[in-house]
Structure 1
């Protein structure tokens, strides 16, 4: 698997936030380094004079000093360090995050991946395996942990077992997922290396259709803090940026207090919190939304999974 692209230099503060949120979202869903490469191309080019990666990293590090008990702050720092190939630093940040949010399978598997990437000559460090096992114990469907546990089988000589596990993961992959092609390529390459015929099976295996609850159309149609909103905020002084963005989310929360039965607004709130990199608050929004709408729990959880909300 290839290393992820380094963080593009010169991003606006808003685009950095979007990139980190997108990283966390993908990491919660699958998290393989090669699959994050494609997401970086969607980020707009950065205007001249904007802060470089060192300044952006310093801002995230400063946030963890201001908010040492914030799991999302440590998660954002871990994501940024990983994107800069500082895998030891990423692991250290993720260790802080899992200590604060120990029930998040996505965070444990992110920690495991950082430990793998920073493992040097050891392709599967014991500490990485421990993190993946913890993720699976919390969520048996965690795709990243499943992928790397199959890698362990392949490393250990059980190539057929690894391929079987990857096929099982492929069968659970939602239709249109951005990682499907790379997963297929992994199966194909390992099959070729070890003389295992996978061609016919790959051709016959299709990603599963989305369930009605997983359909993201409604969530996409709901207005909320968008990239345009974030870009508009980036043109303001920092204090006004924070005030503008928080004002949008606060207004949304106020509407939900008045009408907690509005399921679409709970989805919007989850999406907004994930866009801002506030994963713990997104998880709380999911919990509150389900409590207020138990009959819509399946839909809220399915949308939360698509958004990468911890615990969805």
Structure 2
């Protein structure tokens, strides 16, 4: 009997919904309600998805050796539900950047989502195993490998792995709530009591490198500022946000050694859904501050910046 037949369609649907939520929260599969995050500045705005894809495809032709270009194309295909196209692009990306655990796990996810029969194709499992070999802490690969256990009938083992992932999850990480929900749902499906353990399990404290910059030393907007901004029309809000981000970029041009501002720029881009620009900010920040590469990458991973 194939593994795909070992669980009901309803259970599979619940699992799919759960890990789609998690992967989206982790940020590697990026904001699925829009492809704006992967669009170069020249084509942002009112372009149709087909035009956006055409520009991204044109970029890969101009820059065939750019893992970032292929990653952006893969993310755009994934956002549009074209998982086969996403997998093909991610395959190009990992060939160019084979040491990126995040790219391997993104490829694995695309292969899972593109499979109509097997909930964990062998090619997807291979990609997740490569991600884990590169980074044993890769959260998405760990998550999907636990899904593999659950599909294979080892429900308790899967739940144990998810609890282990939860224990390694930094406080406030964007995937924490969805991971807890997955544990709860799978426990309910298979009549495994996880309620007390979930209630008693706390995410680990943030390390210094993981502590969000805005919470550590850089002042943010006051409550009054936020309330005032919320009353503005959407167009004015967008203009305000763009002005703030442009101001950050201008300050970084004047002082590229300001590591905190690079982190703030990544955070701003991720908040706007501009993940390709966030990835570029990480790249530029490391180029300007090679001694701070570890800190920049740690912050980028917390924010869910692709390729961090």
Q: TM-score, normalised by structure 2?
A: 0.70
Offset, 1:83: 1.2
Task: Please state if 1:164 is matched with 2:160.
Answer: yes
Offset, 1:81: 0.8
Q: Which residue of 1 aligns with 2:17?
A: 2
Residue 157 of structure 1: SS of its match in structure 2?
A: coil
Q: Which residue of 2 aligns with 1:184?
A: 180
Residue 123 of structure 1: SS of its match in structure 2?
A: coil
Q: Which residue of 2 aligns with 1:241?
A: none
Q: Distance in 2 between matches of 1:289 and 1:141?
A: 27
Residue 17 of structure 2: SS of its match in structure 1?
A: coil
Alignment equivalent of 2:46, drawn from 43, 50, 53: 50
Offset, 1:95: 0.8
Q: Distance in 2 between matches of 1:204 and 1:142?
A: 24
Alignment equivalent of 2:147, drawn from 142, 151, 162: 151
Residue 2 of structure 1: SS of its match in structure 2?
A: helix
Offset, 1:302: 2.5
Residue segments in structure 2 that go unaligned for 5+ positions in a row: 1-15, 38-44, 221-236
Contact preservation (8 Å) 1:249, 1:272: no
Alignment of 1:69-148 (within 5 A): 69-148=65-144
RMSD, aligned CA? 3.8
Residue 153 of structure 2: SS of its match in structure 1?
A: coil
Offset, 1:82: 0.8
Q: How many residues align?
A: 262
Residue segments in structure 1 that go unaligned for 5+ positions in a row: 6-25, 44-48, 233-243
Residue 255 of structure 2: SS of its match in structure 1?
A: helix
Offset, 1:266: 4.5
Could you say if the C-alpha distance between residues 298 and 76 of structure 1 is closer, same or farther in structure 2, counting changes exceeding 3 Å? closer
Offset, 1:80: 1.2
Contact preservation (8 Å) 2:70, 2:89: yes
Residue 52 of structure 2: SS of its match in structure 1?
A: helix
Q: Distance in 2 between matches of 1:270 and 1:96?
A: 25
Contact preservation (8 Å) 1:32, 1:144: no
Offset, 1:249: 5.0
Residue 94 of structure 1: SS of its match in structure 2?
A: helix
Alignment of 1:206-285 (within 5 A): 206-218=202-214, 221=218, 228=239, 252-253=252-253, 255-256=255-256, 260=257, 262-268=258-264, 275=274, 277-278=276-277, 281-282=280-281, 284-285=283-284
Could you say if the C-alpha distance between residues 283 and 130 of structure 1 is closer, same or farther in structure 2, counting changes exceeding 3 Å? farther
Q: Which residue of 2 aligns with 1:20?
A: none
Q: TM-score, normalised by structure 1?
A: 0.69
Runs of 4+ in 1 over 6 A off after TM superposition: none
Deviation per CA, 1:126-161: give whole Å up to 9, x if none: 110111011111111111000000001111111111
